[in-house]
Structure 1
Amino acid sequence: MTDPASPPAVVPWRLVLLLGALTAFAPMSIDMYLSSLPAIGRTLHAGPEQTQATLAAFFAGMAIGQVIYGPASDRFGRRLPLLIGVAVFLAASAACALAPNIETLIVARFVQALGGCAGAVVARAVVRDRFSQTDTARVLSLMMLIMGLAPVLAPQLGGVVQLIAGWRGVFWTLVVFAVIIGVWILFGLPESRSAETAAQARSENPLRAYVALFGMRRLMGYALAGALNGAVLFTYISTAPDLVMGTYGHTPMAFNLIFAVNAVGIIGASQINRWLLRRSTPDQVLRKASIASIVAALLLTLAAWTGWGGQWTVLPLLFAALSVYGLMGGNTMAGALSVDPRRAGSISALMGSASFGSGALASWVGGLLHDGTARPVAAVMFACLVGSSLAIFFLALPGGKKVQA
């Protein structure tokens, strides 16, 4: 194991910037268009449930696509699957911009996610190709700083683009983003897959690889913890527009500001995580962060169900509960990738698919329980964070054992 007190590895900033940009496909695609949902509904003559389906379709595409790209990146290298994914994302974004009806937009959003998910899968695998477990957690936290700019800037950019060019202009902006990233990959991303990973991938089909991963207790603990934390984030993303603009009556501009503040909380926590990893292992940080997350979610649930303080209590506690994600995301991913580095691509895909799959399910449950208050959101978040903590303490870290890098 890398000594957490030792100096961290030298950070290749150009590579980290590119990898951070690759992980921004999902937040850019989601956050830029959230405030455009009412306009989309009016233009395409669609109700709230149909416009919400465009978000659910994207979550589903992200969950399914990662299962494909992970083993492909182990077998064919990191660059080729990534370039294919960017090309699919580019074409689907153009289809979204040209969609004549809501049904076409839903399908195009699903395909858009099938392409965009390649960025996150391959970026995480590249990090594990180059770094040990503790340094992987550090670099992933640094990438979150870069990726985190997307939820801060994307809603503002999306609002400006919508004013100038309408909601279709938002998707044309994503086309331009894909072109820039594709060129950057061609000239700025060296192949990093190891010979051991290639040999392992050639020796087994993807199904066997996943079967082997599902049999690893520690990996399942990290995967469940990461997925349930992701569910908290995606529950917030899918319910925030209705809660902030509908229930609390804020304007779209105020919603974008609140959304940006919560994103800053996650980014700030991820950078605190980098500092903590100079003195602690990723697993030690996970133990303490999981307890903090339950406390924050419990207080949020109590405030939502009692109504005490109204939005002025709920929104700050929501900020606290979301911020803990910055301490959990990178460490659960680093722990999972350390279990079997030869299958880094498949593990990255498994983690990402589990996160988006549980996020889609949690969002659906939150919508099913929707009653015009913050209570369903708080209850779903609390349940997910309790489950995450149980997975950490009883599966990922049984008996207090430390994970070897």
Structure 2
Amino acid sequence: MTKTRYIKLILILGSLTALGPFSIDMYLPGFAGIAKDLNTSVANVSMTLSSYFIGISAGQLLYGPLLDRFGRKKPLFIGLLVYILASLGCVFVTDIDTFIGLRFIQAVGSCAATVASVSMVRDLFPVKDIPKVFSLLMLVVGLSPMLAPTIGGYVTADYGWHTVFFILMCMGIVILIAAQIVLPNSYLPDTSISLKPKPIITNFISILKEPQFYTYAFAGAIAFSGLFTYVAASPILFMDIFEVDAKTYGWIFAFMSLSFISASQLNSLLLRKFNSEQMILGALVSQAGISVLFLILAMNDLLGLYETIAMLFLFLACLGISNPNTAGLTLAPFSRNAGSASALMGAIQLGLGALASFAVGVFVKNSMLPMVWIMTVSTILALIILIFGKRNIKKTITNSGDEEIVIVH
């Protein structure tokens, strides 16, 4: 493969991967403006995040079998088309209920891009290069939550929140054209794959029964729901409670993303000295300690803007360490049906994320306490699942060799 072609493929696969994070983060600074324009509350606007997470969760399970059955490009084309039309609908939306529905449809469309990009990495690159390619894609995913809300903050302040969805629609169109022209047909359709519900469900149930899968998938996903809680609560927390403007909020969100990215990089270094099991336990114990301290400080009204940012920064850093390790150990036992295991893991993670962001929409109004309660309870629950679940695992299977499994969401 020539260097130019390699760079082209990475850029297009990276932009497919970045579409989801951009769709989640870019409109966050506009929450106050959306609430005002649609005559509703910021808490109700956060329900559009919940519906988006539900859409991605459902989409993960939908596209896995479709991409194997019909090849990569046809489902990708249809998914991106759905995304573009839903984004256009969001530009002209006039009531909150329609907006919530359109965000669900937009998520199902964008999910095609995420799942197809992961599948195409497996198709297009030799096995030894896959971890390196995923690392480059992770960098794109990591940069997205830094760039998206910052850009969104400026666009919202200068042109209004509708423009954000117009930009997302244009991104979808450019990515669709580039994918159709540049990406090869990397996988021949497999007509032997059944799309009947029964064999698909039977396969998912057999994966769920594996103790290593359910222990690390649920411990990891429940801990990771803290990130979704933070994302959903952050517009209310920073723009309503601490009264920062849309541009400042964008910069705060970008700074927080640094925590998650730098912790993920630190994780790679620490794995030379410690194994994944030790890293997960250490990260979850630290996360539990930080969230309990966060709760005590919040209950006693001891947190200003800067102290809150510091506590959230430490909390997210723990997730940056536990998440790659729980993902690696969740998928390690599956060599044959890794695609289905990956889709199921993603669906569990995003489904619980949707639940957490829904709880934020219901409980977080004019105090940070409900957010911190949700984070603390979910972290302690994840730790309990890890400790008890490990008793059922006879021998932890890890991925052999130097390859680190990196999951792109």
TM-score bracket, shorter-length normalisation: 0.7 to 0.9
Distance 1:202 1:97, change over 3 A: closer
Q: Which amino acid in structure 2 is aligned with residue 38 of structure 1?
A: A
The residue that corresponds to 1:252 in the other structure is 246
SS of equivalent residue, structure 2 residue 364: coil
**Aligned: 1:31 with 2:25:** yes
Match of 1:401 among 381, 396, 401: 396
**Aligned: 1:48 with 2:42:** yes
**Aligned: 1:91 with 2:85:** yes
Q: Is the 8 A contact 1:210 1:346 kept in 2?
A: yes
**Aligned: 1:349 with 2:343:** yes
Q: Which amino acid in structure 1 is aligned with residue 301 of structure 2?
A: G
The residue that corresponds to 1:71 in the other structure is 65
> Separation in 2 of the partners of 1:124 and 1:141?
12
Q: Deviation at 1:231? A: 1.1
Match of 1:388 among 376, 382, 393: 382
> Separation in 1 of the partners of 2:132 and 2:373?
31
The residue that corresponds to 2:16 in the other structure is 22
The correspondence of residues 143-222 of structure 1 with structure 2, limited to 5 A, is: 143-190=137-184, 205-222=199-216
Q: Is the 8 A contact 2:259 2:316 kept in 1?
A: yes
Distance 1:201 1:17, change over 3 A: farther
Q: Is the 8 A contact 1:200 1:342 kept in 2?
A: no
> Separation in 1 of the partners of 2:93 and 2:59?
22
> Separation in 2 of the partners of 1:325 and 1:14?
31
* 1:164-220 deviation per Cα after TM superposition (whole angstroms, max 9, x unaligned): 43222111100111122223333444566699x987768983222212222222111
Gaps in structure 1 of 5+ consecutive residues: 1-11
> Which TM-score applies when normalising by structure 1?
0.85
> Separation in 2 of the partners of 1:116 and 1:46?
26
* 1:346-375 deviation per Cα after TM superposition (whole angstroms, max 9, x unaligned): 222212221221112122333433363222
> Which TM-score applies when normalising by structure 2?
0.84
Q: Is the 8 A contact 2:17 2:113 kept in 1?
A: yes
Gaps in structure 2 of 5+ consecutive residues: 1-5, 401-409
The residue that corresponds to 2:367 in the other structure is 373
* 1:251-290 deviation per Cα after TM superposition (whole angstroms, max 9, x unaligned): 2222111111111111111222233345554444323322
Q: Which moved more, 1:58-67 or 1:168-177?
A: 58-67
Q: Which moved more, 1:27-36 or 1:389-398?
A: 389-398
**Aligned: 1:236 with 2:230:** yes
Q: Deviation at 1:227? A: 1.7
Q: Is the 8 A contact 1:214 1:220 kept in 2?
A: yes
SS of equivalent residue, structure 1 residue 75: helix
The residue that corresponds to 1:7 in the other structure is none
Q: Is the 8 A contact 1:141 1:270 kept in 2?
A: no
* 1:358-393 deviation per Cα after TM superposition (whole angstroms, max 9, x unaligned): 112122333433363222211211222223333444
**Aligned: 1:111 with 2:105:** yes
Q: Is the 8 A contact 2:43 2:362 kept in 1?
A: no
Distance 1:181 1:280, change over 3 A: farther
Q: Which amino acid in structure 1 is aligned with residue 146 of structure 2?
A: V
Distance 1:318 1:336, change over 3 A: same
> Separation in 2 of the partners of 1:230 and 1:128?
25
SS of equivalent residue, structure 2 residue 161: helix
> Separation in 2 of the partners of 1:210 and 1:253?
44
Distance 1:402 1:64, change over 3 A: closer
> Separation in 2 of the partners of 1:280 and 1:348?
24
SS of equivalent residue, structure 1 residue 205: helix
Q: Which amino acid in structure 1 is aligned with residue 248 of structure 2?
A: A
> Separation in 2 of the partners of 1:86 and 1:289?
37
Q: Is the 8 A contact 1:15 1:189 kept in 2?
A: yes
> Separation in 1 of the partners of 2:375 and 2:21?
20
Q: Is the 8 A contact 2:55 2:104 kept in 1?
A: yes
Distance 1:295 1:140, change over 3 A: farther
* 1:319-359 deviation per Cα after TM superposition (whole angstroms, max 9, x unaligned): 11012222222332233333223323322221222122111
Distance 1:228 1:281, change over 3 A: same
Q: Deviation at 1:396? A: 5.9
> Separation in 2 of the partners of 1:333 and 1:218?
11
